[in-house]
Structure 1
Amino acid sequence: MSNYPLSYKLSWLPRFLKPSVLGDASGFAPMAGRVMEPQPGQTVRLAFIGDISAVANRRAPACDPAIAVLLGAADLVIGNCESPIVEKPSAVLGTKLGTHHAMTERFLGDALAAVGIAPEKLVLSLANNHVLDQGFAGFEATVAALQRLGIRTIGTTGNGPVEHVAVGPLMLGLAAFTLWRNADEAVFATRVSMESDPARWPRDAASGVDLLCAVPHWDWEFRHFPRAETRALARRLAGHGVGLIAGHHAHVVQPVERIGEALVAYGLGDFLGTAFARQPWPGRIGAILTVEVSADAGTRGKVASYRMHPFMRLRTGDHERLVPVEGLEGAMRPRVLKRLTAIFG
């Protein structure tokens, strides 16, 4: 029913236990940079976060104030809703084993409050492989719960491949899609966007948009460097006018690349744990990508600067604690810094 190749399936557990730093490390950009000089006088700040789930949490996470301040200062936060939002899972055994994801509406609301994200400033993609883990009823319950919370969604088939979201004086076009699915394609295609080819998007999809952003669920899991096929897709998206790409699915932090004027963050890792509760430490490194977008005349909609803000999800009892890397103590900090250096140079 899924579309994972056999080699991918066989490598999943070894790579989960020991995320790989093998791969092509050439051509990537620093963790932070100025794309425009001089910097614009007026900007809009976007913050991109990774996958959100309650798999590793019985209750809302604790959060370092610095992370809450960072997220609270963004004009818009964009992430991936990795778990269906249901009060009672229909896939009971799979949910207990961790193969099927689920979280409650209360958990998500409490988690957002803990990390400083106002629901009205949040956009969540539903284009991922786990969104149908609790069936069609779970999908509909998820959409309804997000509406009640006041959270906007992208990545469903109902509104086309590019959805328009206003943020301050700018209009963003958000194209969310998944390359991976955990169900039959015919079933998946009725609810979830899988259209990754920008040449197949309607010609007027980006009409009236200042900045076109892609939010793909792509690449192979637990590998810090993206595959050649993923980088080729990024180039194709950039060639069709996508100026900003923030990816998910790898569950580990991946590097940043500049393709012409386009900025690509291949993977932000998990924002809240989405594999198993007791996850090896490299998979607990996440990142928040902040991007300043120009709102000045003449450069309107251009990426002005960006920064990756790495953090750790530390397990504390039955929930997690989000801590900036600079706030880590003991032996963990040099280990994390060494891994980040391997990824970003």
Structure 2
Amino acid sequence: MSNYPLSYRLSWLPRFLKPSLGGDTNGFAAPAASLMDPPPARMVRLAFIGDLSAVANRTAPECDPAIAALLASADLVIGNCESPIVERPSAVMGTRLGTHHAMTERFLVDALTAVGIARDRLVLSLANNHVLDQGTAGFEETVAALKRLGIRTIGTSAGGPVQRHAAGLLTIGFAAFTLWRNADEPEFRARVSMASDPAEWPREAIADVDLLCAVPHWDWEFRHFPRQPTRALARRLAGHGVRLVAGHHAHVVQPVDRIGDSVVAYGLGDFLGTAFVKQPWPGRIGSILAVDVSADAATRGMIAAYRLHFFMRLGAGGHERLVPVEALDGAMKRRVAARLKAVFPDQPG
């Protein structure tokens, strides 16, 4: 049984059909900034991608060379694995309808090759509401497949609330968790992290990391501006030493916050389509958060610069094409530019 409130369930379809620009629009930061002048001599680049699924892709996506080059420039790419990795779905009808997610190991390998992400530089969060869509056996198959492929994971209960991974010269502590679940609580919590309270994270897990980063699956879907409880949780995370937050679940791009020396990207949108094949265009805008982190001795772990790189997922038969918004033209380019300006007023026109 899921834990969504009734008001959320009733609003899901209207917001899917017409993503909302309503809500509190005040106090957000620019989608890009240089925070250290001069920049550090040595830096590590983290690239965060949004939700990754096969719902809108029967075959691997096409990817613009500029997007592939950006991802290849990162020391570590971090994303949300929205679909269980199984050879045969157990929830057959739900998978056909798109309400239950699934992708094969071959699809994931082909997709990563297409977008230029090396498996040994990839970290995938399993802390999301869909990870048990194919049952507990599907979850175990997913964990085994990622281990076999050499892809690191975060967001599992077995790994603890904070999981450490090397990124170039730095050690990053990742606290991946979900506020939402589509399965009964006992079986879900036994496998997936819902540890959203930083006061309860073990001190020894974060004692000597260079940068503490949260990867939450939070907020409500198809709303461009985060709700007040989400912003309050972001402040709580920042108050407990989290210096970087890259959020998921909204399936549309959301603003950036600066809370002290913490950077919060509330929602990156989808990296590969995770709703339905026929998704309204605002939900096809995605972003990649590139973060440069100092590896100099005096400023080790400090964020030197960040930037959201926006792209569009265009339908191309049985798969999607990932195209930078700068490469769009005509009416679509004007609509996308207007939507980004509404969400990010400081975004260049």
Q: Which TM-score tier does this pair reach, normalised by the shorter chain?
A: over 0.9
- The residue matched to 2:88 in structure 1 has which SS? coil
4+ aligned runs moved over 2 Å, structure 1: none
- The residue matched to 2:206 in structure 1 has which SS? coil
- The residue matched to 1:337 in structure 2 has which SS? helix
Q: Distance in 1 between matches of 2:322 and 2:44?
A: 25
Aligned to 1:24: 24
Deviation at 1:44, TM superposition (A): 0.2
Q: Distance in 2 between matches of 1:205 and 1:196?
A: 15
- The residue matched to 1:331 in structure 2 has which SS? helix
Structure 2: gaps (5+ residues): none
Aligned to 1:332: 332
Aligned to 1:203: 203
Aligned to 1:131: 131
Deviation at 1:262, TM superposition (A): 0.3
Q: Which amino acid aligns with 1:183?
A: A
- Over residues 195-220 of structure 1, what are the superposed CA-to-partner deviations in whole Å (9 max), with x where a residue is unaligned? 10000111212022000000000000
Q: Distance in 2 between matches of 1:41 and 1:129?
A: 40
- Over residues 114-160 of structure 1, what are the superposed CA-to-partner deviations in whole Å (9 max), with x where a residue is unaligned? 00000000000000000000001100110111111110000001111
Deviation at 1:298, TM superposition (A): 1.4
User: For 1:1-345, what aligned pairs fall within 5 Å after superposition?
Assistant: 1-345=1-345
- The residue matched to 2:204 in structure 1 has which SS? coil
Q: Distance in 1 between matches of 2:336 and 2:24?
A: 20
TM-score by length of 2: 0.98
- The residue matched to 2:312 in structure 1 has which SS? strand
Q: Which amino acid aligns with 2:12?
A: W
- Over residues 85-127 of structure 1, what are the superposed CA-to-partner deviations in whole Å (9 max), with x where a residue is unaligned? 0011000011111110000000000000000000000000000
Deviation at 1:176, TM superposition (A): 0.2
Deviation at 1:221, TM superposition (A): 0.1
Structure 1: gaps (5+ residues): none
Q: Distance in 2 between matches of 1:76 and 1:274?
A: 23
Deviation at 1:37, TM superposition (A): 2.1
Q: Distance in 2 between matches of 1:319 and 1:98?
A: 15
TM-score by length of 1: 0.99
Deviation at 1:38, TM superposition (A): 2.1
- Over residues 46-101 of structure 1, what are the superposed CA-to-partner deviations in whole Å (9 max), with x where a residue is unaligned? 00000000000110000101000000010000000000000110000111111100
- The residue matched to 1:205 in structure 2 has which SS? helix
Q: Distance in 2 between matches of 1:313 and 1:3?
A: 30
- Pairs aligned (count): 345
- The residue matched to 2:234 in structure 1 has which SS? helix
Q: Distance in 2 between matches of 1:277 and 1:147?
A: 29
Give the share of equivalent positions with the same residue, in percent: 76
Q: Distance in 1 between matches of 2:6 and 2:193?
A: 24
Deviation at 1:293, TM superposition (A): 0.2
Q: Distance in 2 between matches of 1:329 and 1:150?
A: 39
Q: Distance in 2 between matches of 1:166 and 1:58?
A: 33
Q: Distance in 2 between matches of 1:283 and 1:213?
A: 25
Q: Distance in 1 between matches of 2:157 and 2:69?
A: 34
